[in-house]
Amino acid sequence: MSGASDRRRAPPQAGAAGADRPRAARSQTHLWVAQRVTAMVLAVAVAVHLVTIILAVRGGLSAGEILGRTRGSEAWLAFYCLFALAAGLHGAIGLRAIAAETLGLRGRGADLAWLAIGLLTAAFGIRAAIGLYA
């Protein structure tokens, strides 16, 4: 989600402008890598999710049909947990980029808040995945 904006942003300047420039540059690099790694996981997971949705809605959805597929299945549990973690982090990093560009919301405090939001979102997803498994 932050691809175009990240490429557009000027690289951090070295020198006396600020002591935490290297930290900011490192942070940008980590976020860029995290966004791309989660994107690659999501590329597969979203494709599987879309195909599953389209197949599942044929003839109508039922709780028995959904739970029959997921209950006791470690493979679906692992898939949905990884999917939720990647989606939670990917969404939070994307929202962070939009908030930084449009609202000027930046800094270490904001970054920690976005990390918390991403992990909390993922935790809700993992709770739902456990509900489908148990």
**Contact footprint for another protein (CB under 8 A):** 1, 3-4, 36, 39-40, 42-43, 46-47, 49-50, 53-55, 57-58, 60-64, 66-67, 84, 87-88, 91-92, 94-95, 98, 120-121, 124-125, 127-128, 131-132
Both tokens of residue 106? 């930046």
Distance CA 39, CA 83 (A): 11
- The residue (of 4 and 16) whose beta carbon lies closer to another protein is 4
CA distance 37 to 68: 31
Please report how close the Cβ of residue 121 comes to another protein at its closest, in angstroms.
Answer: 5
* CA–CA gap between residue 132 and residue 80 (Å, rounded): 9
What is the Cα–Cα distance from 83 to 75, expressed in whole angstroms? Answer: 12
Query: Whose Cβ is closer to another protein: residue 1's or residue 21's?
Result: 1
- Output the smallest distance, CB 107 to another protein, in A: 20
